[in-house]
Structure 1
Amino acid sequence: MHFFSSNFKLGILGGGQLGKMLLYETRKWDIQTKVLDASNEAPCKIACNEFVLGSLLDFDTVYNFGKDVDVLTIEIENVNVDALEKLEQEGVKVYPPTKTLRTIQNKATQKLFYTDNDIPTSPFTRFAYTSEIEDSISNGGLQFPFVWKSAQFGYDGQGVKVVRKIEDLKGLPNLECIAEEMVDFKNELAVIVVRSTNGEVRTYPVVEMEFHPEANQVEYVICPARIEDSIAQKAVAVALKVSEHLEHIGLLAVELFQTKDNQILVNEVAPRPHNSGHCSIEASYTNQFEQHIRAILGLPLGKTNSKVAGVMVNLVGAEGHTGAVSYQNIDSILQMEGVTPHIYGKKQTRPFRKMGHVTIVDEDMNRARKVAQQVKETIKVISS
């Protein structure tokens, strides 16, 4: 099949920043794209060949959207899988496959998948409703502290809460959820595995993630992770095992805990380009977005090594600011060496909303991390 400057059409479900960065690569190669998103102000809208406004969770909308594309992929997991399954049955190539998506979409199903396949993960309890948790605590079935997670539709720290006392359950939505045992970890790591339609598999270097304590969002991604080679090899081995059993196509970001006694546990996964791979745009031989395109089209995979050390800083909306966005002090961070800002094109900011990221590259990791701290302290994402 001819992909470049041809009638081939790639469909993308989701028009956010990940889709926008995928479109950098499709435009580079002159691949036709069609994007579906529920917002008329989606970042993807300005860069795709065809934009469709509609719900990613509505069966008819997703099915009708996908009927005239050759390959269909996602930039967010919260999509109507039943519609994708029907499209798959009718000959549309859907990546990741619907079987993979069904397992990953629901965090309870995802955790059961790990235990069924002997993949190390933290102990958990599944609940049909959040209201059942209090009884479990009263009967000694669940102990504080634990992490409450909504089974579906969580993202960017939403749908996750650390529960340290009974009062922390107040205000949580009454829906299907899991309660995970708190992990005593020393590092949060991630490995991106890429798997092509032709069976080729590669991994990116292990990255280290530093999280915001309140928002439960990644503040910094450090590539490569500052860990021993033996730990990195163990992390890659676990990620490859997850990838093999899920039989995904495209990118799979595997988030991991390194425990105090150096065990590697799977936290959760995302079957798409991921925040933990943004450093690859400036720091790797082949960035994660180009690699995803290569994988789902069956093209040879690119080199995943890093050319230079990289640190990514997430730009999120400042607390106390909601409304039309204003970026303060971008000119100041541009004076710093090795700094590249990425602005996602979202017009409205709110507290902790992901609005962009900044990558810092340097031959020296320690220097890059110091500059990242300066960037974090300098740039402000506020409402104008």
Structure 2
Amino acid sequence: MAKQISELKLGILGGGQLGRMLIQEAINYNLTTLVLDPDPDAPCKHIANKFECGSITDFDTVYNFGKKADIITIEIEKVNIEALEALEKEGKLVFPQSRVIRLIQDKGVQKQFFKENDIPTAPFQLVSSKNDLSNGNFSFPYILKQRKDGYDGKGVMKINNLADVDHAFESPSLIEELIDFDKEIAVIVARNANGDMKTFPMVEMEFNAEANLVEFLISPSTYPEDLQDKADKIALNIASALNITGILAVEMFVTRDGDILVNELAPRPHNSGHQTIEGNYVSQFEQHLRAIFNLPLGDTRSINNAIMINLLGEKGHDGLARYENLEKVMGIDGVYIHLYGKKYTKPFRKMGHVTIVDQNREKAIEKARYVQHTLKVVS
């Protein structure tokens, strides 16, 4: 007789806020959670059944950790792939699969995957080093992205002219045509081992220009239904082509001409799905658990208009975190606070998020703008 979900041990590589919110859902299923993270004070430390402080990029550490779990998942892509491959060969279940993580770890390989599978994306070219930029004949301006280790806005820069090339990345990178886009959007898709798939409604995102992080998210989108359907189909096609098990966030651009271009993928719960905790019938975190344990996928429909705001550490503040005006925003109907358990703040560090729900979309946005300008993370 197959084991029930509550009899299995879930190993999570990475103990940050995504792991924390995943564990909060896992508790509802009596799941035993094991977490590996290099930070001895990681957000997951006090809520995981077992927390281990160690490197998620070291082969032996990841391999030995994975041996203790029945299913292994990630909350960040920068993990030791070779260890996960070895665990898979020994029969351990790793979701998303190691081959998917390997593909997504390298933005150049990811772009080639888009090209080979006819997935619409911005024109690009791979470069070995910044010498290729000096010797090349590329039209300015363009976007330069490091192929590996870029996250949360890091590893991306705009190259406007030859002078900017002097400050370009030395490591293997890709150049991408600068897209004149109307808005950034995202669709999160889940796929279980049976091949069942479901998408969450498309969301619209605003980014912090300085930190290049999602700062404001609106769900559901008000773009025309045919455009939303197109984005939905792109996400489903990618999940199917990857043959992924788990959650996949597909970040896209809507161009001024109304086309959709895929920007990047994240094979895990993602910032563009935090609002699903209060805004949808099933959250992205529960859906990820359902997918990796091969359970029926939940109802992804929106319950209400939901706005998500990232709480980022204020500029000029580095030290013990304080949440200024927390009581003020908690007095507003439909405001839900999520703090990530991080003791120290620094500029642009993700310290939490707030979701605002309201039956009236404009009222939800109005409340969210107030929260955005009122609630501050300082030291």
- The residue number in structure 1 matching 2:235 is 239
Would the alpha carbon gap of residues 171 and 347 (structure 1) be closer, same or farther in structure 2, given more than 3 Å must change?
farther
Correspondence 1:372 to 2:373: no
Correspondences of 1:328-339 after superposition (within 5 Å): 328-339=324-335
- The residue number in structure 2 matching 1:124 is 124
Whole-angstrom CA distance in 1 between matches of 2:376 and 2:305: 25
* SS of residue in 1 equivalent to 2:288: helix
- The residue number in structure 1 matching 2:352 is 356
Correspondences of 1:134-153 after superposition (within 5 Å): 134-136=134-136, 140=137, 142-153=138-149
Would the alpha carbon gap of residues 93 and 180 (structure 1) be closer, same or farther in structure 2, given more than 3 Å must change?
same
Offset, 1:125: 1.3
- The residue number in structure 2 matching 1:96 is 96
- The residue number in structure 2 matching 1:105 is 105
Offset, 1:243: 1.1
Correspondences of 1:1-384 after superposition (within 5 Å): 1-6=2-7, 8-136=8-136, 140=137, 142-383=138-379
Whole-angstrom CA distance in 2 between matches of 1:134 and 1:369: 45
Whole-angstrom CA distance in 2 between matches of 1:24 and 1:48: 9
Offset, 1:198: 1.6
* Cα contact 1:119–1:238 (8 A) shared by 2: yes
Cα-to-partner distance string for 1:309-344 (whole Å, 9 max, x where unaligned): 100000001111111111100101011111011000
Q: Which amino acid is the alignment partner of residue 333 of structure 1?
A: V
* Cα contact 1:3–1:31 (8 A) shared by 2: no
Whole-angstrom CA distance in 1 between matches of 2:369 and 2:168: 33
Q: Which amino acid is the alignment partner of residue 126 of structure 2?
A: R
Whole-angstrom CA distance in 2 between matches of 1:39 and 1:249: 28
TM-score scaled to structure 2, two decimals? 0.98
Cα-to-partner distance string for 1:221-253 (whole Å, 9 max, x where unaligned): 110112111110111111111111111111000
Would the alpha carbon gap of residues 33 and 366 (structure 1) be closer, same or farther in structure 2, given more than 3 Å must change?
same
Percent identity of paired positions between Structure 1 and Structure 2: 49
* Cα contact 1:238–1:264 (8 A) shared by 2: no
Q: Which amino acid is the alignment partner of residue 108 of structure 1?
A: G
Whole-angstrom CA distance in 2 between matches of 1:366 and 1:301: 31
Offset, 1:10: 0.6
Offset, 1:166: 2.7
Cα-to-partner distance string for 1:325-382 (whole Å, 9 max, x where unaligned): 1110010101111101100011111111111000000001111111111001001111
Offset, 1:135: 1.8
Whole-angstrom CA distance in 2 between matches of 1:165 and 1:324: 40
* Cα contact 1:13–1:37 (8 A) shared by 2: yes
Offset, 1:169: 3.6
Whole-angstrom CA distance in 2 between matches of 1:150 and 1:355: 26
* Cα contact 2:5–2:293 (8 A) shared by 1: no
Offset, 1:5: 4.2
TM-score scaled to structure 1, two decimals? 0.96
Whole-angstrom CA distance in 2 between matches of 1:371 and 1:169: 42
Whole-angstrom CA distance in 2 between matches of 1:146 and 1:382: 35
Whole-angstrom CA distance in 2 between matches of 1:198 and 1:238: 20
Whole-angstrom CA distance in 2 between matches of 1:169 and 1:33: 46
* SS of residue in 1 equivalent to 2:44: helix
Q: Which amino acid is the alignment partner of residue 327 of structure 2?
A: D
* SS of residue in 2 equivalent to 1:290: helix
